[in-house]
Structure 1
Amino acid sequence: MDWTSYAAALAKRATYASSRWRSAVAETPRHVFVPRWWESGPSGWALCDGPGDEPRWLGTAYADTSLVTSVGPCHADHAKFGDRPTGLPTSSSTLPSLVVRMFQHARLGSCDTLLDVGTGSGYGAALAAWRLGEEQVTSVDVDPYLVEAARERLERIGRRPSVETIDATGDLPGVFDRIVATVAVRPIPASWLTALKPGGLLVTTIAGTSLLVTAEKGEDGGATGRVEWDRAGFMRTRTDPDYQEAATGDLLSIARAHEGEQITTGRYPVVNVAEAWDLSSMLDVTAPGIEHCYEEHQDRRVALMTHPDGSWVRAVAQADGLPTVHQGGPRRLWDTLDEIRTYWLTNGELPVRGARVFIKPDGTTYLARGGWHARL
């Protein structure tokens, strides 16, 4: 199979011409790491088999896009055609340009040791091993099968970083100059700071947000840094084959149909919060754990919000008109959203992006910018 021209084209899309990562992308056969994957469609998740359709395999594997390899506990490698897994994606091969950007945020030097948290398909570990040398790269994942498959596929292409099955929120295998996580966490595990050398850099994302954090470890065992202006979103860490989701179906049904304990007119048009990354991130820092549902029916817009504490919202509007807002439960979630949008209009931006980050040795994390601050 002639994959090299595809990989070269991907390298041009995913890296700058002078980037030291360009050759890593151009010389790494990504298709080896994603022989099968899941695609979402009107009928749910459908299995795609690369060897069964090589042209499609090459076109998909060398596109700068993420490929879902596992849904719930069902990995594509083990699936049969006709299977329709349910639940959330639990593993993927992240789009190559984002993998490269995460490594670039770590400002990796040629002599640095790297802990790659979230092995996934193994593609990121392959790029890091090309760039740094396999002896300087350790990759960890909680899923034994992912580790086994990644190790075998890395071996197949001649790259042999250390790949281990470990719950990354617990003890880690060594001490490193850099830790780069392609899984999201909240809070930041204390073990990450323990495993980071003084002066070392941590790069991660905060679960439930698109906030990308870089922080340097100090002599006191804590770390300081910032929320980058860049954005990234990853699956959050897990300890089981699947995520344990809160049962919000009944509450969503209530939000769709009930009148609510409070009915008001909102100050701003209905917005699809989940697609408004900065707004969504600020809201999740302020009131973590909200689930969103957004629907459009011709000119009618409906936004639903639910929270595990029993709070819920239904906001309904015609086009960009002001919505009628029904709210129930212990908190008024739409009021919180409107307060954030008012802050944005008053100040020109939200403080969460670009905020300073302070991480204590136990992982407790604070964000601050100007007069605003929050504890994660």
Structure 2
Amino acid sequence: MSWEAAAADLAARVTHRSSRWRMPVARTPRHVFVPAWWEADGDRWEVHEPLTEEQWFPAAYADRSLVTSVGGLHADRAKPDDHPVGRPTSSATLPSLVVAMFQHARIDDGDELLDVGTGSGYGTALAAHRLGDEAVTSIDVDPYLVETARHRLAIAGLHPTLETVDATGPLPVKAGAFDRIVATVAVRTVPPGWLAALCPGGRLVTTIAGTSLILTAEKREDGSAAGRLEWDRAGFMPARHGANYPAGASGLLAAAHEIDGEDVTTGPYPVVDVVNAWDLDSMLGITAPGIEHAYQDDGHRRTAVMAHPDGSWARAVSVGDERPTVHQGGPRRLWDLLDELRAYWLQHGELPARGARALITPDGETRLARGKWRAVL
């Protein structure tokens, strides 16, 4: 199968036939942007560098994310015996999600777009096909990613503006330069530079770090922005300030599997795999950001572990249908915070974040509200 046929098939799977994004997906050679990627093999990463189109195209034109950098090591610079340690730091996002983020932005012909998080360059390519090179600016903190994406975009016949920039700081653009800002990296609060770069009436789309919540907002004349948390879901890597993320709570998370707690109690609710309970995970990410998780289920015993960089940790273990034994330590009781959210869910029938109104102040503070619920990021 030719790449053109593979891309057309992908476009048919991830866009509606009348979508203005169908042509960009069908015209973009995604394999050019992912010549190599990392795949998890048990508890370690293995580089995958296809030698033939038969090995390459099924992954490149699947609607899946391909991890291209782990712990700051890019797959196309890796040796076969490299096994990086750490968190993924870049990927080629699954095409349907890239399209969905652009659709949330309500992009019109003639719009000037700031694409935050160049990554592989694939999303930038879709935007450049849709709007034209001159209307698209893409930024990333990683100079290697930017230079490589520039080269691969040129292979695809595209020449948008690419810059190496820490997107969380001031942006080297004039005020009000963009009609739309779409970020495929997550942020806890909206950087003030984004609002400054957005024109009045312009629209931004991003995700809140540590959650699956999509934030959309339109800039107002006073420099603030108003919008909502969408009902849709998305997950992106958090914005970083360099090649890798700072050390988190992974050491404590490993230790928390074995150590005894300062408090040992019996929990009222079953053990839950928080990371895969997206709404619950998102609410916890709003109320107590920065928690890392581990979960094991051998069919008889379920174990959930939580740890935070402030030294707080929790471990909940249940056997069969029994109520869990919960060990907790450190300055905060993380499992108690989780159970408070679960109690709210039972009382109200749902968690309040999705669908909440959002107000973003010019300095980036985000205020959320739905019914009587309030949160400030």
The answer to whether the superposition gives a TM-score over 0.5 is yes
Give yes or no for the alignment of 1:180 onto 2:179.
no
Which residue of structure 2 lines up, in the alignment, with residue 130 of structure 1?
A: 129
* Matched-pair contact (CA < 8 Å) for 1:11–1:26: yes
Counterpart residue type for residue 110 of structure 2: C
Which residue of structure 2 lines up, in the alignment, with residue 351 of structure 1?
A: 352
Aligned ranges for residues 139-218 of structure 1 at < 5 Å?
139-174=138-173, 175-218=177-220
**Cα distance in 2, alignment partners of residues 27 and 95 from structure 1:** 16
Aligned ranges for residues 204-283 of structure 1 at < 5 Å?
204-249=206-251, 251-283=252-284
Deviation at 1:253, TM superposition (A): 4.7
Which residue of structure 1 lines up, in the alignment, with residue 320 of structure 2?
A: 319
If the length of structure 2 is used for normalisation, what is the TM-score?
0.97
**Cα distance in 1, alignment partners of residues 152 and 10 from structure 2:** 20
Deviation at 1:147, TM superposition (A): 0.7
* Matched-pair contact (CA < 8 Å) for 1:270–1:320: no
After superposition, what is the alpha-carbon deviation per residue over 1:7-62, rounded to whole angstroms, capped at 9, x for unaligned? 11101111112111011101110001111111111261111113x13211011100
1:257 counterpart SS class:
coil
Deviation at 1:310, TM superposition (A): 1.6
Which residue of structure 2 lines up, in the alignment, with residue 12 of structure 1?
A: 12
1:23 counterpart SS class:
helix
Which residue of structure 1 lines up, in the alignment, with residue 40 of structure 2?
A: 40
Residues 195 and 267 from structure 1, CA distance in 2 versus in 1: closer, same or farther, beyond 3 angstroms?
same
**Cα distance in 1, alignment partners of residues 250 and 3 from structure 2:** 45
If the length of structure 1 is used for normalisation, what is the TM-score?
0.97
Counterpart residue type for residue 32 of structure 2: V
Which residue of structure 2 lines up, in the alignment, with residue 299 of structure 1?
A: 300
Deviates more, 1:289-298 or 1:193-202: 289-298
**Cα distance in 2, alignment partners of residues 320 and 119 from structure 1:** 46
Q: Report the identity percentage.
A: 65
Give yes or no for the alignment of 1:109 onto 2:108.
yes
Counterpart residue type for residue 204 of structure 2: L
Deviation at 1:252, TM superposition (A): 2.9
**Cα distance in 2, alignment partners of residues 11 and 263 from structure 1:** 53
* Matched-pair contact (CA < 8 Å) for 1:114–1:137: yes
Which residue of structure 2 lines up, in the alignment, with residue 120 of structure 1?
A: 119
* Matched-pair contact (CA < 8 Å) for 1:183–1:234: yes
2:240 counterpart SS class:
coil
**Cα distance in 1, alignment partners of residues 83 and 220 from structure 2:** 48
Give the total of aligned pairs: 374
Which residue of structure 1 lines up, in the alignment, with residue 52 of structure 2?
A: 53
Counterpart residue type for residue 28 of structure 1: T
After superposition, what is the alpha-carbon deviation per residue over 1:83-140, rounded to whole angstroms, capped at 9, x for unaligned? 1111111111000000000000000000110000000011101100111111100001
**Cα distance in 2, alignment partners of residues 30 and 232 from structure 1:** 21
Which residue of structure 1 lines up, in the alignment, with residue 329 of structure 2?
A: 328
**Cα distance in 2, alignment partners of residues 318 and 131 from structure 1:** 54
* Matched-pair contact (CA < 8 Å) for 2:271–2:316: yes
2:157 counterpart SS class:
coil
After superposition, what is the alpha-carbon deviation per residue over 1:264-316, rounded to whole angstroms, capped at 9, x for unaligned? 11111000001111000101111111111111123100111111222111111
Give yes or no for the alignment of 1:339 onto 2:336.
no
Deviation at 1:211, TM superposition (A): 0.7
Moved over 3 A (4+): none
Deviates more, 1:147-156 or 1:166-175: 166-175
**Cα distance in 1, alignment partners of residues 265 and 338 from structure 2:** 14
**Cα distance in 1, alignment partners of residues 147 and 213 from structure 2:** 31
Which residue of structure 2 lines up, in the alignment, with residue 369 of structure 1?
A: 370
Deviation at 1:258, TM superposition (A): 2.8
Structure 2: stretches of 5+ with no match in the other structure: none
Deviates more, 1:257-266 or 1:280-289: 257-266
Deviates more, 1:20-29 or 1:324-333: 324-333
**Cα distance in 2, alignment partners of residues 349 and 330 from structure 1:** 29
Structure 1: stretches of 5+ with no match in the other structure: none
Deviates more, 1:209-218 or 1:9-18: 9-18
1:256 counterpart SS class:
coil
RMSD, aligned α-carbons: 1.2
Which residue of structure 1 lines up, in the alignment, with residue 83 of structure 2?
A: 84
